[in-house]
């Protein structure tokens, strides 16, 4: 079991892809640049996989919005604390489930949302 609060960058993106979206994720080397990166199978039901570069969920606003939209499908909503309260720190995200459960996470940028999403969806294995 890993500590989600210690995961960041592409490792965090990989966990989100696997545990929030249910994607098959693999590490690949870019043939043009020689750099390692992550890809996911966009067509898991097809006979021939369609591999796409894994979105930057923890760094990109558009990708983070897709995380938040997917959480809504599972009954989770982002809870916004009142402005001026101690909880309104920019680096803290609280998610509430319609059944009353709550999870929270801290981090810079979209990392807090990604960490909270993993906690909500039970994604705490590598």
pLDDT tens-digit readout, 37-83: 999 999 988 899 999 999 999 999 899 999 999 999 999 999 866 55
Among 8, 2, 1, which Cα is nearest to 115's?
Answer: 8
Task: Examine the pLDDT at 86 and tell me if it is beyond 70.
Answer: no
Confidence class for position 108, pLDDT limits 50, 70, 90 = confident
94 is a domain residue? yes
Residue 9 lies in a domain: yes
Q: Which domain holds residue 66?
A: 4-21+55-121
**Does 39 map to a domain?**
no
Q: What are phi and psi of 105, to 5 degrees?
A: -155, 160
- The pLDDT value given to residue 63: 95
Q: For residues 18 and 2, give the distance between their C-alpha atoms in angstroms, rounded to a whole number.
A: 14
Structure tokens at 112: 């807090």
Return the residue matching tokens 């995200």. Answer: 93
- Contact in structure between 2 and 14 (CB atoms under 8 Å): no
Question: What does the pLDDT read at residue 18?
Answer: 95
Specify the number of domains making up the chain.
1
């Amino acid at each position: 079991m890993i500590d989600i609060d210690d995961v960041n960058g592409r490792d965090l993106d990989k966990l989100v892809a696997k545990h929030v979206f249910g994607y098959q994720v693999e590490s690949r080397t870019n043939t043009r640049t020689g750099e390692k990166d992550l890809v996911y199978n966009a067509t898991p039901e097809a006979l021939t996989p369609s591999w796409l570069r894994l979105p930057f969920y923890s760094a990109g606003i558009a990708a983070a919005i897709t995380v938040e939209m997917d959480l809504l499908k599972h009954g989770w909503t982002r809870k916004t604390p009142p402005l001026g309260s101690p909880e309104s720190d920019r680096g803290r995200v609280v998610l509430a489930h319609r059944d009353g459960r709550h999870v929270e996470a801290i981090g810079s940028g979209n990392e807090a949302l990604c960490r909270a999403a993993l906690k909500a969806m039970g994604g705490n294995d590598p």
